[in-house]
Structure 1
Amino acid sequence: MSVLGILGAGRVGMALARLARNADLEVLIAGSGDPASLADGIAAESPGAVAVTAEEAARSAYIVILAIPLGKYRTLPATALAGKLVIDAMNYWWELDGVRPEFSDPQTSTSETLQKFLVDSRLAKTFNHASVWELENLARPAGHPERRALAVAADQQEDMAQASHLVDAMGFDPVPAGPLANGVMLEPGAEAFGADASAAEMRTMLNRFWTSQRGLVVARNRDMPPAGC
């Protein structure tokens, strides 16, 4: 897991790059422009990270984090990402992405929509529900009494383990949220989104999601039985 790719050189991408460099990972980061034009800014914001193309980051990295606007997901290099563990750190904002029914459908999560496009990749959902400020300021070593938690959703146990290991290495306590479909628990509007929470507090939030207003709407649209039944 020594090489991490980050697609997206905005504030979130840069914050994640700094955390990864602090964890002694090699970081390849791609923005929307020519890598040469981004190199100086990336060197200043995240020393040691290397500006590359999206294709190069996708092909060379062991794990790839997506930190681009969600509405641009079809521009991702799907072929280069085939076989990779891809971490979805994106959120749907209609003000930025436009009104997109596929992202607001309560029958599915945005990560599941992304998985249908990246059909040959393995997806995990995490980092998206932390604010940029949290990523920039709240990373702590393991065992620190003020260490914050980040939830992780993934379908495969190995992918859950790898994504959780990355979260831990980058300064946060990983909390399993279940399968990728449970990524809906981490989206805007859910209690865990933006929560400055400990691991115990995060587990409590995830456990009561299905009794929340958002959880009841999702469960009804997925034909799930009411919580507790």
Structure 2
Amino acid sequence: MHGKQIWRLIPFLEAPGNVQMAIDRWLLEQHLSGQHPPSVRFYTWSPPAISLGYHQYKYPEYWQDLVWQGQKLDLVRRPTGGRAVLHQGDLTYAVVISGLSGNRTQAYQKICEFLIQGWRQLGVDLHYGSAGRGYIHNPNCFGTATSADLVTADGGKLIGSAQLRRGGAILQHGSIRLQPDASLFAEVFGTETFTCVQISQNLSVEKIIAALIAAVSNCFGIDLAVQPLSQREWEAILVQPRWDVGS
């Protein structure tokens, strides 16, 4: 009788966006080289940041000078594709996995299953968005909802995800909008409609993460081993190229 596969759960981390992106990329490379099990983690961006998709080179110049509550917003490039995401009042998840069969959409849906299940446990029903290719002209990831995104029954987009494939390994990470500031959102993306999902005040970040961690174990049929990044791992992560954009 085989035991369950064990994934690594890296504890919640609050850090600058360039550090978070370096960790995600490093986890993918380590897993691809066979030196690291599949892994999952949850994190936030401090200071708040705008992340650009790997191939997104057009963005307003003023994004480099935005300030919110006395803090300058970071501008960071993701290793994944997609469009700009504002990371303020959100929670980000990252999953590194291999061995998924099927095309990109099927891989998204296999990974997103834990998000749907976890939020269902929290009383929020999510389904996939339905935007077609027209979204490509919208610089804002949360302006439209594609089949890789999860929306609520009233159409509010709660989670936007992006993926990077290397060989048979996949990094998928995504932003879960919990308490975004509507005025900052308007300052970054202009006057477009801001459909904010109303999250119950009783749902702390800790409670949300706990539900999502339980759903990961259940959906993938695995056990999770909590293991913080070691000093040696931190050193390897921080010598990588930086993910800052601009100056």
| TM-score class normalised by the smaller sequence | under 0.3
Normalized against structure 1, the TM-score is what?
0.28
Q: Which has the higher helix share?
A: 1
TM-score, structure 2 as length reference: 0.26
